[in-house]
Amino acid sequence: MKLKLLPILLLPIYAAFASAPIYDIEEQDLLVEIENKKPEVEKEIERQKKVAIKKLDDLAGEKLTPAPANRTKYVDPTYVLQQDIPKYDRFGKKVGVLYKKGYKFNPIDYLHATPADFIIFNPCNSAEALKVTEIMSEYEKESRDYMLVNSGCKNKDLKKNSFNGKVYFLTAEMKDKFKVEHTISIIYVDKEKKRIAVKEIATNEKTSN
């Protein structure tokens, strides 16, 4: 008897649903949405492009001050091991210690060929640019290898002179590693002293930047 009453009791609920208004679910087409946002996206891409170009134009390498006088200083490249270097057999099994912590070695002792000299200068400084041009000529006559390194000359200004495309940019790591302070600085390996030499050359003219 109770089971027969169940459909009758549910009739008001069905009636309520049947009389409720029905709405269409409107979903914006994805392609239309993308098309509508296209101007906004293009504007943001253009903004980021301008920021990137400005950063590239302003790239100048680490800045140094002009050398006050001619001098040569030396950097000791000797390295001290901070931990043991293990020794392995041909099967990859650890069989002992190859070099113990605290072992000192000088990389210059293991050089088979002398690396190219680094000539660090500010290409935007007319006196330094002229002096480096002379130095380059001397190197080329002696068939010596060298690399030009820019310090302080913005990329957008570098494009206007003859050194464009011929120089690298001085990094903070290189500046700290070789303790470079001034331009012009020529960094080279002194095998006799077993040291890295940093030869500073003064031009007695302030940078234009």
Q: What is the pLDDT of residues 15-25, one digit of tens each?
A: 555 555 555 55
Which pLDDT does position 42 carry in this prediction?
A: 67
pLDDT band at 45 (very low <50, low <70, confident <90, very high): confident
- As a whole number, the mean pLDDT across the chain is 81
Q: What is the pLDDT of residues 151-177, one digit of tens each?
A: 999 888 888 787 767 889 999 999 999
Instruction: Tell if the pTM clears 0.85, that is, is over it.
Output: no
Average pLDDT over residues 103-120: 90
Q: What is the spatial distance between Cα 139 and Cα 71, in angstroms, rounded to a whole number?
A: 20
DSSP string, 30-74: HHHHHHHHHHHHHHHHHHHHHHHHHHHHH---S--EEPSS-EEEE
